Structure 1
Amino acid sequence: MSNAQDQFIVRFWGVRGSIACPGPETVRYGGNTSCVEMQVAGHRIVFDGGTGLRVLGQELMSQIPVEGHLFFTHSHWDHIQGFPFFTPAFVKGNHFNIYGAVAPNGSTIEQRLNDQMLHPNFPVPLQIMGSQMAFCDLEVGEPVQIGDVLVENALLNHPGEAVGYRVNWNGYAAAYITDTEHYTDRLDENVMWLARDADVMIYDSTYTDDEYYSEKSSKVGWGHSTWQEAVKVAKAANVKKLVIFHHDPLHCDQFMDGIKDVTSKQFANSVVAWEGLTIDVVHDRQAAGGSTQEALPT
């Protein structure tokens, strides 16, 4: 069995977009918003702090002291609401590096996380958190080196801006691309660059094409994409595994089962993300040919 220094593991703690939607119709895929953890060469790298971050935090409490790197795509509510409930951040001895690009209005990620915890929105301020936190302003296009791991980023097409990421290590790569809206006349160059030859591409597939182009309730301009566009990008960028992500809160388990079926017909090595899904990037690459598609829990 390989040790942590030889691993590249991707785990999903929150897979929804827009708003958390717990309930009987979202049990299997989950109702928490965006949070994806990657354990790469002994480093814990977390993308987004949606409500799934709270669940990850509960898991980490059994591993104290913990150290991690938390990258935010942007600061819309569904990507930051879990941060005030991230229990390890309140514990002395833990250490977190927190990254985010400066918003178009000039506010830093530290300012935005701080502001959501001010009265009257929250009972205690960010400053009560007892862990050591280092806030880092990302320059779009400038990579971050974490040991032997390189984290690249690029600007996405989203209202108020968002940043997508690509994690590179030892010839392996995983792309985290949400929230982004596709262009109707071409594939997004930044998305293609992040996804290039990736072992895993996690892609914003909030809508179906029918929903996106609906005459009654068009989603054009809302900042999100479709599973059909995910397939186009995956094929064009030579992606090995496609992960459908950022599910609309109105899409119940049965609906997501349907997305899984139609996506797998167009891109065999694809999976619809659910809370608890774990992908072993190294094992998948080393496995002999063919698909490594995961089965849903019952």
Structure 2
Amino acid sequence: MEITFWGVRGSIASPGPDTIGVGGNTSCVEVRCGSTKIILDAGTGIRALGDKLLREGSVEASLLLSHVHWDHIQGIPFFVPAYVPSSQIQVIGSANGVMSLRDALAYQMTAPVFPVRLDQLGAKIDWREVRSGERFQINDVVVRVARQNHPGGSFAYRLDWNGRSVVYATDTEHFACIDPELYALARGADVLIYDSQYSPDEYRGTAPGNSKVGWGHSTYVAGVELAKAAGVGQYVLFHHDPRRSDAGVADLEEKTRELFPNAVAAREGMVIGLDSVARAA
């Protein structure tokens, strides 16, 4: 199992000289389990991933969407494998209470917003809507789904393969206690990728700026609490605030390591091989 980060920002892409080290693309993570290719979210980072996949040959992949807020789907119209007839893509996510998963993705590709409609894409695309608590397989990868606390709803996913596991839990806001659904999902996972957009002061509004309570995002301290309680092997800070510079991300990373030594801030191009991660207790 190998994890590659293609987009690590939240809310909106943030290119520039102060963010070039961490990267400015929005959420997209690739997980390879043997020959099985799984993509977690389709933010702007998926564009470069698509180019890489095409260089390797015909594309067969599954795309798991946490939710359909723009920063998690805006890369789909620029994911070139979706235009190639030989590509086979399975899109997995949830209905949002307003429209189906397919209709939501088609909505962002309608005139006058975009010149190509979803139904004009050349790839073979299959659609699957899942529910919280569901368990299913993608080839020999076991996938589990949990509901998260986010405006409009979002899903966390756990991937288990060959005795190793990764949990992807972005766009979630912590509670006064550890979220019991995320705890159950993350228990014993080798890697936890967690929404760590804010510091506690930023979240409460005691740092410069408004309170972020109710915005649907979390802090590195809440991430540490979950990682410790669930006994995960490595904690990855993810969904960085678009205003946070490379130096700011490094500062949060250092503060997190004081609480949970095996922590790292996600950066574009970073690769985590599960063979190099100590197994969870």
Residue 261 of structure 2 corresponds to 268
Residue 76 of structure 2 corresponds to 83
Residue 198 of structure 2 corresponds to 207
Contact 1:64-1:94 within 8 A present in 2 as well: no
Q: Supply the AA of the counterpart residue of 2:249.
A: M
Distance 2:224 2:160 in 1: 22
Instruction: Kindly provide the CA deviation profile for residues 157-188 of structure 1, in whole angstroms up to 9, marking residues without a partner as x.
Output: 0000000000011221100001100002x110
Question: Closer, same or farther in 2 for the Cα pair 1:261/1:285, shift >3 Å?
Answer: closer
* TM-score of the pair, normalised by structure 1: 0.91
Pairing 1:189-208 to 2, within 5 Å after superposition: 189-208=180-199
CA RMSD of aligned residues (A): 1.2
Shift of 1:268: 0.7
Instruction: Kindly provide the CA deviation profile for residues 113-145 of structure 1, in whole angstroms up to 9, marking residues without a partner as x.
Output: 111000111011012211110011112211121
Q: Supply the AA of the counterpart residue of 2:157.
A: Y
Gaps of 5+ in 2: none
In the alignment of these two chains, the number of paired residues is 278
Residue 296 of structure 1 corresponds to none
Q: Supply the AA of the counterpart residue of 1:50.
A: G
Distance 1:140 1:121 in 2: 32
Residue 229 of structure 1 corresponds to 222
Match of 1:146 among 138, 145, 160: 138
Distance 2:267 2:186 in 1: 21
Q: Helix, strand or coil: the match of 1:26?
A: coil
Residue 54 of structure 1 corresponds to 47
* Identical-pair percentage: 45
Instruction: Kindly provide the CA deviation profile for residues 56-98 of structure 1, in whole angstroms up to 9, marking residues without a partner as x.
Output: 1111120121100000000000000000000011011110011
Distance 2:260 2:200 in 1: 16
Name whichever of 242-251 and 166-175 sits farther off. Answer: 166-175
Contact 2:234-2:277 within 8 A present in 1 as well: no
Contact 2:11-2:242 within 8 A present in 1 as well: yes
Distance 2:265 2:134 in 1: 30
Q: Supply the AA of the counterpart residue of 1:140.
A: S
Distance 2:132 2:227 in 1: 23
Q: Helix, strand or coil: the match of 2:277?
A: helix
Distance 1:12 1:32 in 2: 10
Pairing 1:128-147 to 2, within 5 Å after superposition: 128-147=120-139
Distance 2:137 2:250 in 1: 38
Q: Helix, strand or coil: the match of 1:232?
A: helix
Q: Supply the AA of the counterpart residue of 1:256.
A: V
Distance 2:186 2:180 in 1: 10
Distance 2:87 2:278 in 1: 33
Match of 1:160 among 152, 159, 179: 152
Instruction: Kindly provide the CA deviation profile for residues 173-227 of structure 1, in whole angstroms up to 9, marking residues without a partner as x.
Output: 100001100002x110111112111100000001000000015510000000001
Pairing 1:23-38 to 2, within 5 Å after superposition: 23-38=16-31
Gaps of 5+ in 1: 1-7, 290-298
